[in-house]
Amino acid sequence: MRKVIHNFTLNPKNDILSGLTVALALVPEAVAFSFVAGIDPLVGLYGAFMMGIVTALFGGRPGMISGATGAMAVVMVHMIQQGNQVGLALDQPIENLGLQWLFIALPIVGLIQISAGVFKLGKFVRLIPHPVMMGFVNGLAIVIFLSQLGLFTETSNGNTQWLQGNAMFIMLGLVGLTMAIMHFLPKLTDKIPAALTAIIVVACITIFGGIEVGTVGSFIKDGGGSGLQGGLPTFQFQIFSLLDTLQGHWGLVISTAFLLASVGLIESLMTLNLVDEITESRGSGNRECIAQGGANILNGLFGGMGGCAMIGQSIINVNSGGRGRLSGIVAALALLAFVLFGAGLIEQIPLAALVGVMFMVVIGTFAWSSFRILHKIPKSDAFVLIAVSAITVWQDLAIAVIAGVIMSALVFAWKNATMIRARKRIKEDGTKVYEIWGPLFFGSIQNFNAKFDTKNDPNRVEIDFIESKVTDHSGIEAVDNLAKKYLSLGKELRFTHLSPECKVLLLKANPGLESVIETSIDDPRYHVMTDVMDSEV
């Protein structure tokens, strides 16, 4: 019981205040990502609320924040646009059919993510190398920074241009003030969350000082939205009557669902890993997969846009002192309260304050140490770090992480492929011994085969794997083929110190090798203390 309460809230005051801070930062993010996806801002806000509340209660990482994200918004755009075109082409046009397709796809996304958690695929995030992780956070910091630059522009006569004159100076001044408060306030006291204080101070200056600046409300109106005011999410009964509109388009919906599920899981698990490092604790990736899936199913059934973990808001929360589940719950409930009751107040918050908060997130997220270590780490790792950062900015987080893992895996395979060695010696009875050292797998097979001179070797050959490990099916095949070559030449062959797993697989592939595999010799390194004690009793 004590552990449950401990996870729910580590510090009630900090969790509540940091949750409110995160809620304020979630509003423009959810609205912006809704515009990216081409849907109503309320759909994004509902999605952020449902993602936030479910993952805060049941997720694998207390203090981590989930909501509507840009990475998933970019993926769903094509399907939404295609659905809208189909809807307009029907004899009885269906408005916003693409949005209805999204609601149909999200339960599929949820089932995929829940399956990943049930089959414990979340643990594979541990296979992500450190250079990929550093590239991920650097690229993400750059993406967050670039996403805020659009708020320094204005549209005039259909053309987008940078703010001019006093408008730009006021914007920069308010952003700078926000950042200064967030930087210096913690040096004076840690009793008050710096981000929330900065937002309130800047909002009061603009509201009571009569300063005309861009606000959350003007941002929504400029994007074509009607405002933040809305009711509770409602069950989307109509999606079950629209399944027939998917005839001929199920492939698009299902492929989009798989891509959304993959992007969501990768971003969530990477965020979980990063928050683990910051808090020096450990979350459950599999539990997070299940919670994310359940939240996305709820989004589809109750009209949200879906989402995943948000690294920027998670860092704001953690740095503001929100470490328990209560912080995420407060953020989600506050977001819903803004929609139900506080839309008028939230719409008055200046965008400059929120931009300043996000700029401080960028500074805190970017791994500045990467500049210091670039010339100290292997060139391959440096290349991966830079490549992942660039791909994150150029494409998206999921593609960057996948590409980084593949590059790291290829570098690892290449290095290990060159490590295979064979020490050769002749016994007194004329037997030639090959002592194999290094891993035998698909990458090292060619080098392995080059070590043997089957035609010119004596009639008795022993191949000793005491310093080697056969790690995959390709290695098994290489050993099997080598045995066939020696036996076809009528030579006596013996394999020693093969691992038990390798012996089983070899005999399955070729039962005739039973006489070749030595089973009577024990490897002294694998003796277990209990075995020794049993033999002495």
More confident residue, 122 or 464: 464
The answer on 272 and 218 residing in a single domain is yes
DSSP 8-state symbol, 152: G
Mean pLDDT of all residues in 25-53: 85
Q: Is 446 found in the same domain as 370?
A: no
Residue 441 and residue 523 in one domain:
yes
Q: What percent of the chain has pLDDT over 70?
A: 93
Which of 389, 411, 440 delimits the end of a domain?
389
519: domain range? Answer: 421-536
Residue 407 forms part of a structural domain: no
- Give me the sign of the Cα torsion angle 328, 329, 332, 337: negative
Residues 6+ apart with CB under 8 A from 485: 454
CB 367 within 8 A of CB 137: yes
401 within some domain: no
Domain total for the chain? 2
Higher-confidence residue: 53 or 127? 53
Local confidence band at 266 (pLDDT 50, 70, 90 cut-offs): confident
* Residue 303 falls inside a structural domain: yes
On whether both 348 and 444 belong to a single domain, the answer is no
Comparing C-alpha atoms, which of 56, 63, 80, 67 is closest to residue 31? 67
Shared domain check, 355 and 227: yes
User: How high does pLDDT run on average in the chain?
Assistant: 85
The answer, yes or no, to whether residue 203 has pLDDT greater than 60, is yes
Closest CA to 491 of 528, 512, 516: 516
The highest-confidence range among 11-15, 254-258, 370-374, 394-398, by mean pLDDT, is 254-258
Q: Using alpha carbons only, give the angle 92, 94, 97 rounded to the nearest 5 degrees.
A: 150
Residue 285 belongs to a domain: yes
Residues 427 and 370 in one domain: no
Query: Is the pLDDT confidence value at 507 over 90?
Result: no
Are both 6 and 47 inside the same structural domain?
yes
Q: Which of 108-122, 128-142, 195-209 has the lowest mean pLDDT?
A: 128-142
Asked if 10 and 153 sit in the same domain, the reply is: yes
User: Looking at the predicted structure, is the pLDDT value of residue 527 above 60?
Assistant: no
Q: Are residues 363 and 429 in the same domain?
A: no
User: Can you give the pLDDT at residue 45?
Assistant: 92
Residue 364 lies in a domain: yes
- Residues in contact with 133: Cβ distance below 8 Å, sequence separation at least 6, in sequence order: 270, 273, 274
464 shares its domain with 527: yes
pLDDT class of 526 with cuts at 50, 70, 90: very low
* 378 and 428 together in one domain: no
Q: Is 460 helix (H, G, I), strand (E, B) or coil?
A: strand
Region 107-133: mean pLDDT is 87
Residue 450 sits in a domain of what CATH number? 3.30.750.24
Average pLDDT over residues 195-214: 89
Q: What is the pTM of this model?
A: 0.71
The DSSP symbol for 300 reads H
- pLDDT by residue (tens digit) across 453-478? 999 999 999 999 988 888 888 988 99
Least trusted range by pLDDT, from 91-105, 158-172, 518-532: 518-532
* Residue ending a domain, choose from 341, 366, 389: 389
Q: Is residue 479 part of a domain?
A: yes
Backbone angles phi, psi at 309, to 5 degrees: -65, 145
CA atoms within a 13 Å half-sphere pointing along the CA-CB vector of 167: 13
Residue 465 within any structural domain of the chain: yes
One domain, residues 304 and 181: yes
Instruction: Lowest mean pLDDT of 137-146, 236-245, 252-261, 331-340, name the range.
Output: 137-146
* Confidence check: pLDDT of 537 > 70: no
Query: What confidence score (pLDDT) does residue 171 get?
Result: 94
Measured between alpha carbons, how far is 129 from 133 in angstroms, rounded to an integer? 6
